[in-house]
Amino acid sequence: MKRRVLTLPQKWVVALALLVLALGLANLVRMGVALRYALLVPELPMTVPLEYLAAVGALWGLVLTACAWGLLRFRRWGRRGTLAAVTLYQAHVWVNHLAFDASDYARQTWLWDLLVTVLLLALVWGSLHVHSVRSVFTRQAPPRSGGSDDGRAQAPHAEGGSDDDRIQAPHVVGGSVTADPGETKT
């Protein structure tokens, strides 16, 4: 079988998915650290309870990891969810800054944090609104068995296709990323 390599827009989506996954995993680590400190040093004076940090770390970790999964699977909900989740995540970061930053040093980092926020939102919103990247989420995957295998877009299923219709996702085969799980390296 002939090997299909990911297109440039698909590679861009995969790279963005890895960034979103890194944010999700960092929040899960934050949850673990907060829980560990809550157990080891329960009387640690904090401006915010460690349980709160653990809860929001778990929430954002799960949400962002799910969005990364949706992007990696080229699902429409993954694109939409990522746009919403990253925006709400950054809004939450700034609510935390305004509500809980107590030291002068914390306030001194606001300019850097603002720059990171603007860059992240510009990267996510800008890249997921590029026409060629958006088209990755609108094409239908070829059927897995039977039917045409010419790689052209297919119509939604007759049983009521939805936004969750499957889009061909990347797979690693022999150390290289391919567009079809049945393909092998030749």
The stretch 3-22 carries a mean pLDDT of 93
Residue 184 pLDDT > 60: no
pLDDT of residue 160: 42
Q: Are 100 and 48 in contact (CB under 8 A)?
A: yes
Quote the number of domains for the chain. 1
What gap in Å lies between CA 185 and CA 176, rounded to an integer?
A: 8
**Of residues 161 and 116, which shows the higher confidence score?**
116
176 — phi, psi (to 5°)? -125, 150
The stretch 175-185 carries a mean pLDDT of 49
Residues of the domain holding 84: 8-136
Q: Are 181 and 171 in contact (CB under 8 A)?
A: yes
pLDDT-based confidence at residue 19 (cuts at 50, 70, 90): very high
Q: Where are the beta strands (DSSP E) in the chain?
A: 171-173, 176-178
Residue 67 lies in a domain: yes
Residue 145 lies in a domain: no
Lowest mean pLDDT among 30-34, 68-72, 106-110, 147-151: 147-151
Residue 51 pLDDT > 80: yes
What gap in Å lies between CA 10 and CA 158, rounded to an integer?
A: 27
Residue 161 lies in a domain: no
Residue 96 pLDDT > 60: yes
